Amino acid sequence: MDFPLFHLDFLGNRLLIALIATLHVVISHSLAVGGMALVAMMERKGLRDSSWDQIAKKTLFVFFVVTTTVGAMTGVGIWFSASLVNPTAIASLIRVFFWAWFVEWLVFVTEVVMILYYYLTWDKWTGDRKRAHVQLGFNLALFSWITMVIIVAILAFMMDPGSWHQSKNLLSGFLNPIYLPQLAFRTPLAMVMAGGAAYWVLCFVKVDDELRSKATAFIGKWILGWLPFLLLGSWIYYQVIPEAMKAHMGVAITTQEYISWYKSTLYTIFGAVGSVAVIALSAITFKKLPKLVMILPFIFLIGLMGMFERSREFIRKPFAIGGYLYANGIRKDDYPLLQKEGILAHAPYVSIREITPENTITAGRELFTLTCTRCHTVTGVNSVTDRFKVMYGAEKWEPQKISDYIAVMHQARTFMPPFPGNEKERFALATYITSLQNNPEKLEGVQSHGLEFNAKDESKVPASVQEVNQ
Amino acid sequence: MKTPIPHDIPLPLPAAEGFLKILLVVSFIAHILFVNLMVGGSLFTLYYQWKAKQKKLYDDLAQFIAQTITVNKSMAVVLGVAPLLLINVLYTVWFYSSNALTGIAWILVIPLVAIAFLLTYLHKYTWEKWRNQRTLHMSIMGVAVLIFLFIPLIFLANVNLMLFPDRWSEAKGFFSTLLIGNVFPRYFHFLAASIAVTALFLVWMLKTKWTASYKTLLDQRVTLAREFYKIALGISLAQFFFGPLLLFTLPKVGLSGSLYLAIGCGVFFAAFAMHLMAKEIKTLTDTQFAQRILPISILMTLTVLFMASGRHLYRENALASHKEAVRQKTEAYQAKVKEAQLAASEIEALAGGGNRGQKLFQSCAGCHAKDTRLVGPPLTEIAKIYEGNPAGIVAWAKAPGKKRADYPQMPPMTLPDEDLKAIAEYMLGSH
């Protein structure tokens, strides 16, 4: 509410952040956290059987190039997109977790220096120093994992802040109830995914047949060895997801349209994990896999992870920060004031302060921007018009009906935040939505049309402030 | 002020403000050093690869510099995270506002830089393979250079725009923000610095063991170092034009005596460093190779430290009045928030009594009306189906199926059983 609001009406803001974050998570889990451990293991095998060295180095090369380009930039991209998509949420998180992030940054700098060193000294630290190089690889894997240890605390905090509500300090935020279970899930997931990614590398690099079959079997063992931990981790994690959030699981995994497919989707997940196990087992037994099969585990695991991240993001709704900040970027504490006096009375960048019959639709559009656009578009992905089409079909929409629905929507659709404004504003929003039925007009964000505000608000700086600068 | 005053985040800063600001200035210097080396390095690589047609030596030199870019770029990104975090936490309102106002360009930084990084790797690892396709090979670096030259404009537009909230209303997309404040003088100052810093870095590299495997470069290192020193000195002289241009085009709002003092100190150390560079150019030999590179680097670091402090002082001055206005407005708003919360909790306490089922039914009223179809069927219809069977309604509400082809499916209700029972009884009893 307090920031100029960026909006992508085609892609949707949520999808922007989701695309960047998912890409980052896939790369950081499989190529960095799991990947470095796997490469170090392969390099260690090279101490006894030097043929391993070439496959270890080739795998590292691919992991190194991808993590230090797309991996690094999508990591920064999460910050960039979060500042656009939900500035209040990311700003609040930074205030609470600043030192966690700062320490993470120190670990992260160490990790980058180590990966540069690890890769660039591969051919230099030979002979007696090879053992030290292997050790460097394991240290690097440890540091990669520590970055995950820190960031998972923050992700878990967003779902359930635990006792932070009372104490509002870093430690209580860090030790939230979902933290360790989520870590227990993500760690083996990263390891299994690294195996999937290593199979991809194996598909595309040139190595002799003997090494190929040795590597095929070894990666199979790696995957199969970590899979039970992944199952255990998911079970532990599932136990601590609050009941109210579990109720959203169906929609989270399948979306509203396909909620009836929830059961079959669950079977698909088990099927995918099962087939990863079968593929790993046949790799161990036959020491050989057709390329087409070899690429499957990584694809299945990316799908699984995408689903997990989507449901993690989804089930914490209606909140962006559990119990503190709603997904619409408005604090729970602000609700009583805004529902009484109106959002338009307090949001800085609105052109309308008083709703009149003439300006109702414009006011509704501004309210839509303020309260809906963090998740919904008008014409694109997850559009408000589609949502209401599902409910009312071809029937003519009526502002009063829609307004009445919005008033209680959060009780029926418990992943939706309550409407933060007053009754007049709710009606204006409903009027705007109604106008979209026959005339869905693309909504622009502040990045293209600039700031809108009320001329009366200009030079509202108190006299006492004017002098500060003199 | 032309734009309205927003509210700040009502959570305390994670540490003393002054301490965080020192961290910001220091961590930013570390970041910008590697950015300079990355941008400067890519320019040098392209330049020497182009000159390699005349002299084979320059091909080796270009390849050597290309090796440094991929390392420096990784450091530039990772060291950028700390200042990003700090500017987010210290200047939340101002930085996020300019991010949103330049939104498309801001988010394009991510894919563009990722592409440029991939190109630098491609360029580095195809050096031998594409030796006979020089144009193709050079154009890979060419595209990377273009991206590296464009990205700083996006960052400068942001750190510049955030300083002038009264002009936020003029921002209509990224390109319009380039005209607010003095983005371009800052840009040229930055580019010149990148070239000078990289030239000095290359002198230093010629002195270290990193060049050991580049025999041809080592043989010619006096000539090369002299050339780099000349470039560094020439560009530093040019900064005596770009620097004042930057200073005199700054909007008046943030100018102060302390700013001039900081800049003056920076210039003093820079002049001293330039004096040493000139000496080096005269006295450089293979036995006494680049002996003054350390003092020169220290002096230049001091220059950067003072310039960065000056920049920080300007930011503080420029934002002082707006910051204070935001603080006052946030305080007043938070007082109102508390007041409204208190009032709301009192109303809730008074509101006991009345028909519980009727009140709870409000959760359902968005979709179910008495005798007309809204989203779901009317109560009259439901009452017929469940006559004398409130438990049936409860069971359905908890796990609804889909009965009617022309209605959307009802979402499951998460209210406690006793509430659902009260609602069901109200639904059946109200007719």
Partner residue facing B89 (CB), from A94, A445, A449: A94
Question: Residue B216 falls within a domain, yes or no?
Answer: yes
Strands (E) across A116-164 are located at none
> Do B275 and B376 sit in the same domain of this protein?
no
Enter the tokens of residue B38: 């990355």
The CATH number given to whatever domain includes residue B179 is: 1.20.1630
Question: Residue B344 falls within a domain, yes or no?
Answer: no
Domain edge (last residue) among B293, B328, B363: B328
Q: How far apart are CA B239 and CA A267, in angstroms?
A: 66
Partner residue facing A458 (CB), from B1, B11, B114: B1
Residue type, A457: D
Contact B96 A458 (CB under 8 A): no
The ranges of chain B with pLDDT < 70 are 1, 351-354, 430-431
For residue A177, the number of C-alpha atoms closer than 13 Å in the C-beta half-sphere is: 11
Strands (E) across B96-217 are located at none
| A217 or A101: which leads in pLDDT | A217
Question: Residue B37 falls within a domain, yes or no?
Answer: yes
Question: Residue B7 falls within a domain, yes or no?
Answer: no
Cβ burial B79-118 (10 Å sphere, 16+ → b, else e) = bbbbbbbbbbbbbbbbbbbbbbbbbebbbbbbebbbbbbb
Residue type, A198: A
> Do B320 and B236 sit in the same domain of this protein?
yes
pLDDT confidence tier of residue A463, bands split at 50, 70 and 90: very low
> Do B242 and B373 sit in the same domain of this protein?
no
For B400, name the nearest residue in chain A, comparing CA atoms only. A260
Partner residue facing A404 (CB), from B10, B14, B366: B366
Return residues 225-254 of B near A (CB < 8 Å).
253
DSSP letter for A29, please: I
Enter the tokens of residue A17: 């952040």
Report pLDDT digits (tens) over A275-306. Answer: 999 999 999 999 989 999 999 999 999 988 88
Distance of CA B207 to the CA centre of its chain: 35
Cβ atoms within 10 A of the Cβ of B412, count?
A: 17
Question: Is the predicted pLDDT of residue A161 greater than 60, yes or no?
Answer: yes
How many separate domains does chain B show?
A: 2
Is B335 an interface residue toward A (CB < 8 Å)?
Answer: no
Whether B411 contacts B376, CB under 8 Å: no
DSSP letter for B252, please: G
Enter the tokens of residue B353: 């009594």
For A108, name the nearest residue in chain B, comparing CA atoms only. B78
Q: Which pLDDT score, from 0 to 100, does residue A470 have?
A: 36
Lowest-confidence segment of A117-121, A268-272, A297-301 by average pLDDT: A268-272
- Which positions in chain B touch A74 (Cβ < 8 Å)? 110, 114
Q: Which pLDDT score, from 0 to 100, does residue A249 have?
A: 66
Q: What is the ipTM of this complex?
A: 0.91
The candidate with the shortest Cα–Cα distance to A203, out of A303, A291, A293, is A291
What CA–CA distances, in Å, run from A183 to A25, B11, B409? 14, 28, 36
Question: Residue B11 falls within a domain, yes or no?
Answer: no
| Residue B170 structural domain | 17-328
Report pLDDT digits (tens) over A32-68. Answer: 999 999 999 999 999 998 889 989 999 999 999 999 9
> Do B220 and B368 sit in the same domain of this protein?
no
Question: Residue B293 falls within a domain, yes or no?
Answer: yes
Q: How far apart are CA A157 and CA B423, in angstroms?
A: 35
Question: Is the four-CA dihedral A223, A78, A446, A362 of positive or negative sign?
Answer: positive
The CATH number given to whatever domain includes residue B399 is: 1.10.760.10
Is A5 an interface residue toward B (CB < 8 Å)?
Answer: yes
pLDDT confidence tier of residue A355, bands split at 50, 70 and 90: very high
- Which positions in chain B touch A65 (Cβ < 8 Å)? 118, 121
Q: How far apart are CA B108 and CA B91, in angstroms?
A: 22
Q: How far apart are CA A298 and CA A190, in angstroms?
A: 11
Report pLDDT digits (tens) over A415-434. Answer: 899 999 999 999 999 999 99
- Which positions in chain A touch B325 (Cβ < 8 Å)? 461-462, 465
Phi and psi at A450, nearest 5°, equal 85, 180
Whether A379 contacts A9, CB under 8 Å: yes
Enter the tokens of residue A81: 């997109």
Report pLDDT digits (tens) over A378-412. Answer: 999 999 999 998 888 888 999 999 999 999 888 88
Task: Tell me how close the Cα of A99 comes to any Cα of chain B, in angstroms.
Answer: 7
> Do B384 and B303 sit in the same domain of this protein?
no
Quick one: CA torsion of A395, A398, A401, A404, rounded to 10 degrees?
140
- Which positions in chain A touch B366 (Cβ < 8 Å)? 404-409, 411-412
Report pLDDT digits (tens) over A222-262. Answer: 999 999 999 999 888 888 777 766 666 666 666 665 565 66
> Do B315 and B267 sit in the same domain of this protein?
yes
SS3 A383: strand
SS3 B353: coil
> Do B233 and B371 sit in the same domain of this protein?
no
What CA–CA distances, in Å, run from A260 to A7, A253, A257, A389, A443? 31, 11, 8, 19, 32
Q: Which pLDDT score, from 0 to 100, does residue B431 have?
A: 43
pLDDT confidence tier of residue A464, bands split at 50, 70 and 90: very low
pLDDT confidence tier of residue A467, bands split at 50, 70 and 90: very low
Q: Which pLDDT score, from 0 to 100, does residue B41 have?
A: 98
> Do B229 and B152 sit in the same domain of this protein?
yes
Question: Residue B12 falls within a domain, yes or no?
Answer: no
> Do B316 and B359 sit in the same domain of this protein?
no
Helix axes A423-435 and A360-371, enclosed angle (nearest 10):
100
> Do B317 and B359 sit in the same domain of this protein?
no
> Do B374 and B413 sit in the same domain of this protein?
yes
Q: Which pLDDT score, from 0 to 100, does residue A135 have?
A: 95
Question: Is the four-CA dihedral A67, A70, A76, A82 of positive or negative sign?
Answer: negative
Helix/strand/coil (H/E/C) assignment for every residue in A199-231: HHHHHHCCCCHHHHHHHHHHHHHHHHHHHHHHH
Return residues 347-366 of A near B (CB < 8 Å).
348-349
Q: How far apart are CA A66 and CA B430, in angstroms?
A: 65
pTM: 0.90
Report pLDDT digits (tens) over A58-111. Answer: 999 999 999 999 999 999 999 999 999 999 999 998 998 888 889 889 999 999
- Which positions in chain B touch A250 (Cβ < 8 Å)? 412
Question: Residue B8 falls within a domain, yes or no?
Answer: no
DSSP letter for A444, please: P
Contact B74 A68 (CB under 8 A): yes
Please name the helix (run of DSSP H) or strand (run of DSSP E) that holds residue B347, with its range, or none. Answer: helix B293-350
Most distant CA pair in chain A: distance in Å?
A: 84
> Do B75 and B156 sit in the same domain of this protein?
yes
pLDDT confidence tier of residue A469, bands split at 50, 70 and 90: very low
Domain edge (last residue) among B310, B328, B346: B328
The candidate with the shortest Cα–Cα distance to B188, out of B262, B243, B268, B106, is B243
Return residues 377-396 of A near B (CB < 8 Å).
390-393
Rounded mean pLDDT of chain A? 88
